[in-house]
């Protein structure tokens, strides 16, 4: 059975149900007895069912004469009895005014939804969704559009709608917020509502700005310190874009994490990254959209690691160093004194700087030091970088014998005298045994002349 046949059957059933009382026969009621004399009045009443109140006209006819009386809206008919009226049959006929018939029928099918040009578009273009009906409704069809439970007829989203008797068009501009939006149309006539299938819209879009690079940690760091860089954009994309990180010409593959609109790189700073320019790159690998942009450069400065010790440790180390230094100095000083020849050991010395350090034994007499120059009966000798004056005891002029100057040569195994930081050997000439005895008995007194 076709859809149109079903509609007409429903219409016919509705009309028959509405006019069932009209097709009922009117009834006649008599108000006078049956046996009447001539020239008496007879009153008849023609009634229609009260359930259907229509203005009707009644026409009376009496047979066998087929006499027709005038039409009247009154339900009563009064006639005069005559001989020819004997055994006559009277009937009434009702005739109503013209009645306008209005059929009310349901929608014949669900709307058919189509999309032009397609359900997947790049941002900036426009979607056109159209719903059509193969037949009209009665009353007229009311159209509406719903997208993700939002009725566009209420002005929730920017759109354009064009309605006709059997179709409706929805125009939406492809933008990022429309992506993954599901829409359908709704047709309403009287109390009947029919909706179309849902259509999911897809929009391809990319960010409008460049990636921006930030450093979450300082870029001037020491070796083996972690460095964290972050890139982000203001909006996401469809399809998703791919993040890449570079430091110089090196592609950083490890330590990379990313989300929809951001990405982070973490690595340990080494000398290979010193003065390297790091940046991020965001690009599309799909043929639906084109996007390939890089951020600004950020230079990494890697410094040598500096180790610091605490104050207590530093004080302990310095104290130990000083103690060791003092011990080594004492040992060295004693070793030097032990290895000095007897000729350099001073029997008696009074030093204003250090006091009495060494006192010679009374049983040992050192030979006199060689005279370096003549200075008014005094002999000056520089020993151990100090100046001393040898004071000779008073003698008789006749018996005074000047010792010859010693001959200086390179030191061998004999007496050594340090003069001006050079080593020389004083070679004594052969002397008489008496002079050697007198010199042994001679007491040498040295006083510090370095005032």
Q: What is the dihedral of CA 214, 217, 221, 224, to 10 degrees?
A: -110
Q: Which pLDDT does position 413 carry in this prediction?
A: 45
Tens of pLDDT, residues 95-137: 766 656 555 555 667 888 888 878 888 888 888 999 987 776 6
In a domain, 326, yes or no: no
**352 touches 339 (CB < 8 A):** no
3: left (phi over 0), alpha (psi -120 to 50) or beta: alpha
With 70 as the cut, is the pLDDT of residue 94 above it? yes
> What's phi and psi for 338, nearest 5 deg?
-70, -35
The CB density around residue 416, as the number of other CB atoms within 10 Å, is: 16
120 and 139 inside one domain: yes
Give the lowest-confidence range in 61-65, 95-99, 400-404. 400-404
d(Cα 169, Cα 116) in Å, to the nearest integer? Answer: 10
In a domain, 337, yes or no: no
pLDDT: which is higher, 433 or 156? 156
* β pairing state of 292-294 and 212-215: unpaired
**206 touches 241 (CB < 8 A):** yes
Vertex 97 angle, CA 94 and 103, to 5°? 115
Nearest to 307 by CA among 224, 226, 215, 228: 224
Q: Which residue among 68, 96, 124 closes a domain? A: 96
399 and 355 inside one domain: yes
| Average pLDDT along the chain | 72
d(Cα 33, Cα 313) in Å, to the nearest integer? Answer: 147
Tens of pLDDT, residues 161-214: 888 888 899 998 888 888 888 999 988 877 778 889 999 999 999 998 999 999
Range of the domain at 84: 3-96
Tens of pLDDT, residues 240-273: 999 999 998 889 999 999 888 999 999 998 888 8
86 and 116 inside one domain: no
In a domain, 310, yes or no: no
296 and 374 inside one domain: no
pLDDT more than 70, % of the chain:
54
In a domain, 329, yes or no: no
What CATH number is given to the structural domain containing 243?
2.60.40.10
With 50 as the cut, is the pLDDT of residue 373 above it? no
Q: Which residue among 96, 130, 161 closes a domain? A: 96
357 and 291 inside one domain: no
Spatial CB neighbours of 26, under 8 Å, sequence gap ≥ 6: 46, 47, 48, 58, 92, 93, 94
For residue 139, whether the previous peptide bond is cis, meaning omega lies within 30 degrees of 0, is yes
Stated as kind and residue range, the H or E segment containing 170 is: strand 167-173
pLDDT: which is higher, 53 or 178? 178
Q: What is the dihedral of CA 344, 347, 353, 357, to 10 degrees?
A: 100
Spatial CB neighbours of 144, under 8 Å, sequence gap ≥ 6: 151, 152, 153, 185, 186, 188
* Alpha helices (H) in 289-395, listed in sequence order: 311-339
Vertex 264 angle, CA 281 and 216, to 5°? 115
Spatial CB neighbours of 257, under 8 Å, sequence gap ≥ 6: 263, 264
Q: What is the mean pLDDT of residues 355-368?
A: 48
Give the lowest-confidence range in 21-35, 148-162, 337-351. 337-351
Burial 253-278, CB ≥16 within 10 A → b, else e: eeeeebeebbbbbbbebeeebeebeb
pLDDT: which is higher, 131 or 7? 131
d(Cα 210, Cα 264) in Å, to the nearest integer? Answer: 16
d(Cα 69, Cα 93) in Å, to the nearest integer? Answer: 11
Q: Which pLDDT does position 149 carry in this prediction?
A: 77
Tens of pLDDT, residues 225-241: 899 999 999 988 999 99
d(Cα 34, Cα 36) in Å, to the nearest integer? Answer: 6
With 60 as the cut, is the pLDDT of residue 217 above it? yes
pTM over 0.85: no
* β pairing state of 150-151 and 142-147: antiparallel
Q: Which pLDDT does position 52 carry in this prediction?
A: 54
Q: What is the mean pLDDT of residues 2-10?
A: 49
92 and 121 inside one domain: no
377 and 443 inside one domain: yes
* β pairing state of 27-30 and 250-252: unpaired
444 and 352 inside one domain: yes
65 and 21 inside one domain: yes
In a domain, 85, yes or no: yes
> What's phi and psi for 335, nearest 5 deg?
-65, -40
In a domain, 291, yes or no: yes
Q: What is the mean pLDDT of residues 296-317?
A: 79
With 60 as the cut, is the pLDDT of residue 387 above it? no
Provide the domain count of the chain: 4
């Amino acid at each position: 059975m076709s859809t149109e046949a079903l509609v007409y059957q429903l219409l016919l059933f509705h009309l028959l149900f509405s006019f069932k009382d009209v097709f009922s026969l009117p009834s006649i009621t008599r108000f006078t007895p049956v046996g009447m004399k001539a020239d008496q009045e007879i009153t008849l009443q023609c009634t229609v069912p009260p359930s259907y109140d229509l203005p009707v006209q009644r026409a009376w006819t009496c047979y066998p004469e087929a006499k027709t009386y005038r039409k009247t809206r009154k339900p009563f008919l009064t006639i005069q009895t005559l001989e020819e009226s004997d055994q006559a049959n009277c009937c009434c006929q009702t005739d109503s005014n013209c009645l306008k018939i209005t059929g009310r029928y349901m929608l014949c099918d669900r709307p058919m939804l189509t999309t032009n040009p397609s359900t997947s578009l790049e941002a900036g273009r426009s979607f056109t969704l159209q719903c059509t009906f193969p037949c009209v409704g009665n009353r007229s069809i009311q159209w509406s559009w719903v997208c993700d439970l939002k009725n566009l007829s209420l002005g929730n989203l920017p759109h354009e709608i064009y309605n006709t008797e059997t179709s409706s068009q929805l125009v939406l501009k492809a933008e990022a917020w429309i992506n993954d939006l599901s829409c359908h149309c709704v047709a309403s006539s009287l109390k009947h509502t029919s909706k179309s299938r849902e259509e999911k819209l897809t929009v391809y879009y990319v960010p409008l700005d460049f990636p921006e690079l930030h450093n979450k940690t300082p870029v001037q760091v020491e070796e083996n310190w972690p460095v964290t860089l972050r890139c982000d954009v203001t909006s996401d994309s469809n399809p998703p874009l791919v993040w890449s990180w570079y430091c110089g010409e090196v592609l950083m593959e490890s330590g990379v994490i990313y989300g929809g609109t951001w990405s982070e790189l973490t690595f340990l700073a080494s000398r290979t990254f010193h003065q390297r320019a790091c940046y991020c790159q965001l690009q599309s690998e799909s043929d639906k959209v084109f996007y390939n942009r890089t951020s600004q450069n950020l230079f990494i400065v890697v410094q040598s690691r500096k180790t610091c010790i605490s104050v207590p440790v530093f004080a302990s180390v310095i104290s130990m160093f000083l103690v060791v230094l003092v011990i080594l100095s004492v040992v060295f000083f004693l070793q030097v004194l032990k290895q000095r020849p007897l000729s350099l050991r001073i029997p008696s010395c009074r030093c204003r700087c250090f006091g009495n350090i060494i006192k010679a034994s009374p049983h040992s007499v050192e030979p006199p030091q060689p005279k370096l120059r003549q200075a008014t009966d005094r002999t000056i000798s520089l020993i151990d970088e100090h100046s001393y004056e040898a004071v000779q005891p008073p003698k008789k002029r006749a018996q005074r014998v000047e010792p010859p100057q010693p001959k200086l040569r390179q030191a061998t195994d004999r007496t050594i005298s340090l003069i001006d930081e050079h080593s020389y050997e004083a070679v004594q000439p052969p002397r008489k045994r008496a002079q050697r005895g007198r010199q042994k008995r001679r007491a040498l007194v040295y006083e510090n002349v370095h005032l």
